[in-house]
């Protein structure tokens, strides 16, 4: 069970980081906006600067370490996904809400498996 949870977590974390990379290079692809102002790019860079390393850490750390600190990291990642769900729902982006929901569940299950 732990092996499945850890690898599922690895994949959803890297997919999440991958979307941040897509947003970095093609922000209008995910936001579905036609803009591209300097302010928009600033916030994309701020998002990517946090989410790419966090996504990689969230995916890789459980492969290397078990226990409470890693579980706490995964629970924090799940909380971030819950916030993403709320944002996606507010913006009427069902696909984004669904993807974040899957990631949140996987992070919680993996965190519980590592305790």
Count CB neighbours of 112 within 10 A: 12
Hey, how many other C-beta atoms are within 10 angstroms of the C-beta on 46?
Answer: 10
Quote helix, strand, coil % in the chain, to nearest 5: 85, 0, 15
* Average pLDDT of the residues in 60-77: 98
32, containing H or E segment? none
Which among 9-13, 35-39, 43-47 has the top mean pLDDT?
9-13
Taking only the tens place, the pLDDT of each residue in 38-61 is 667 788 888 899 999 999 999 999
Task: Name which residue leads in pLDDT, 94 or 38.
Answer: 94
Confidence of residue 14 (pLDDT cuts 50, 70, 90): very high
Specify the pLDDT at position 13: 98
């Amino acid at each position: 069970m732990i092996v499945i949870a850890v690898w599922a977590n690895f994949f959803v974390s890297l997919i999440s980081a991958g979307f941040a990379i897509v947003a970095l290079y093609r922000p209008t692809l995910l936001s579905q906006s036609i803009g591209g102002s300097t302010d928009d790019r600033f916030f994309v860079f701020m998002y990517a600067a946090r989410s790419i390393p966090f996504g990689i850490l969230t995916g890789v750390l459980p492969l290397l370490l078990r226990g409470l600190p890693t579980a706490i990291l995964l629970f924090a990642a799940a909380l971030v996904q819950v916030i993403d769900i709320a944002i996606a729902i507010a913006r009427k982006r069902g696909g984004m809400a669904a993807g974040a929901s899957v990631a949140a569940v996987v992070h919680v299950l993996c965190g519980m498996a590592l305790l």
